[in-house]
């Protein structure tokens, strides 16, 4: 049961004059097949290599996984799952040899030959050697595959909506829980606990959590032991990964009362965000959206060094990147973030971010929370 993404990967390979594709990045494997690769603990010590999604010219999906992943792989979109022994309780296993044998069996069974598109940034050396010894040329499809994931299938949109709802919960929890005297780490622990309880599973997080003038004015950074003080501003850039799909969000609020100067920064970021929302329609190049947002900020004498936004899916940052050098037009079915920022040393920093689905008529917001400067 091949997926929409696997068919797009097959089409991308065809554009590179390749037949089969070997997808090896954890996010790409998930997008192509639905197989969720655990990421928080890093590479499995019992695996001979990363899980692979091998995609045929017709979009057919073949998964290669260890025996520890076989139950999860059975619930995916794969047409065939090839399992190898990566762990047994009673004897050591030559994981790499088993892995290579499993990949080799798929190569033989599929009749793979001539030219194969691969992800050069994650393809294991062992798989490269298997291809080389069979006279199969490998061509780098990393960029083409990444762009093949820009448009989301209905099931992917549903997964992203679920994740977005939990990002919104994270933001509501941040506002409700933040108190003077609490450390940033304590606040993050409370946020993560609420999201994991609602999700019913372990949830990975990316993003930033900063408090105070100095920390927020420096744009990014993860939670530390710094204690929140009265009237501190907090930048909560919270991006949870739920069931293989990421969401993203950012709110900036004050625990107490904001200075007039900081309130003006917050209002400017909000104005820029809404200008970007108004500009974003199918067919509009993303660098035009970037220009509109940046020029709104620049008109008040500020600039920011990060992107204006990005796509999202099985990776927290996907194409299209909303930056000056990217002219990809928006298309219905994309899911994007817009996140303008205003930062001033001695005053603090503001970043405001929502997550959107691109529809025929513009942007539909997926993260249900407001950007309120003084929420309580």
pLDDT tens-digit map of 170-212:
999 999 999 999 999 999 999 999 999 999 999 999 999 999 9
pLDDT of residue 312: 98
Mark whether 48 and 193 lie in a shared domain: no
pTM of full prediction above 0.85: yes
Mark whether 237 and 170 lie in a shared domain: yes
Which of 79-88, 218-227, 270-279, 309-318 shows the lowest mean pLDDT across its residues? Answer: 79-88
Mark whether 102 and 247 lie in a shared domain: no
Q: What does the pLDDT look like over 40-68, one tens digit per residue?
A: 888 888 899 999 999 999 999 999 999 98
pLDDT band at 1 (very low <50, low <70, confident <90, very high): very low
**CATH code of residue 260:** 3.90.230.10
Mark whether 58 and 162 lie in a shared domain: no
Mark whether 89 and 192 lie in a shared domain: no
> SS3 for 359?
strand
Mark whether 110 and 189 lie in a shared domain: no
Residue 71 lies in a domain: yes
Q: Which of 107, 124, 148 marks a domain boundary? A: 148
Residue 159 lies in a domain: yes
Residue 120 lies in a domain: yes
pLDDT band at 114 (very low <50, low <70, confident <90, very high): confident
* Rounded CA Rg of the chain: 23
Token pair 């219905």 is at which residue? 332
Mark whether 126 and 179 lie in a shared domain: no
Mark whether 213 and 319 lie in a shared domain: yes
% of the chain exceeding 70 in pLDDT = 99
Tell me the mean pLDDT in the region 256-281.
98
**CATH code of residue 46:** 3.40.350.10
Residue 359 lies in a domain: yes
Q: Buried b vs exposed e over 94-129: b needs ≥16 C-beta within 10 Å?
A: ebeebbbebbeebbeebebeebbbbbeebbbeebee
Q: Which of 148, 170, 191 marks a domain boundary? A: 148
Q: Which of 148, 168, 201 marks a domain boundary? A: 148
Q: Which residues form the domain of 258?
A: 154-365
């Amino acid at each position: 049961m091949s997926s929409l993404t696997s068919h797009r990967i097959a089409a991308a390979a065809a554009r590179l004059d390749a037949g089969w594709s070997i997808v090896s990045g954890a996010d790409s494997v998930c997008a192509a097949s639905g197989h969720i690769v655990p990421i928080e603990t890093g590479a499995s010590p019992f695996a001979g290599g990363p899980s692979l999604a091998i995609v045929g010219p017709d979009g057919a999906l073949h998964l290669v996984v260890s025996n520890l992943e076989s139950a999860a792989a059975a619930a995916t979109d794969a047409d065939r799952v090839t399992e190898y022994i990566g762990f047994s309780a009673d004897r050591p296993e030559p994981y790499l040899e088993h892995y290579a044998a499993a990949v080799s069996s798929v190569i033989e069974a599929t009749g793979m030959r001539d030219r194969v598109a691969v992800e050069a940034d994650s393809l294991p050396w062992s798989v490269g050697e298997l291809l080389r010894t069979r006279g199969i040329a490998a061509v780098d499809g990393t960029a083409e595959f990444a762009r093949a994931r820009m448009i989301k299938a209905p099931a992917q949109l549903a997964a992203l909506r679920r994740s977005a709802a939990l990002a919104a919960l994270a933001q509501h929890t941040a506002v409700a829980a933040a108190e003077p005297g609490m450390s940033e780490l304590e606040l993050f622990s409370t946020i993560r606990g609420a999201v994991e309880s609602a999700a019913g599973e372990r949830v990975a997080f990316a993003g930033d959590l900063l408090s105070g003038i100095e920390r927020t004015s420096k744009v990014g950074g993860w939670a530390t032991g710094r204690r929140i003080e009265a009237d501190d501003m907090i930048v909560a850039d919270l991006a949870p990964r739920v069931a293989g799909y990421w969401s993203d969000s950012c709110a900036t609020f004050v625990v107490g009362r904001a200075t007039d100067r900081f309130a003006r920064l917050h209002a400017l970021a909000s104005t820029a965000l809404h200008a970007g929302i108004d500009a974003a329609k199918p067919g509009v190049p993303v660098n035009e959206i970037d220009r509109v947002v940046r020029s709104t900020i620049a008109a008040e004498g500020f600039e920011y060094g990060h992107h204006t936004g990005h796509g999202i899916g099985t990776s927290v940052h996907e194409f299209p990147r909303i930056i000056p050098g990217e002219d990809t037009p928006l298309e219905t079915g994309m899911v994007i973030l817009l996140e303008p920022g205003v930062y001033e040393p001695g005053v603090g920093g503001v970043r405001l971010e929502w997550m959107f689905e691109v529809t025929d008529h513009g942007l539909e917001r997926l993260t249900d929370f407001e950007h309120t400067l003084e929420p309580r």
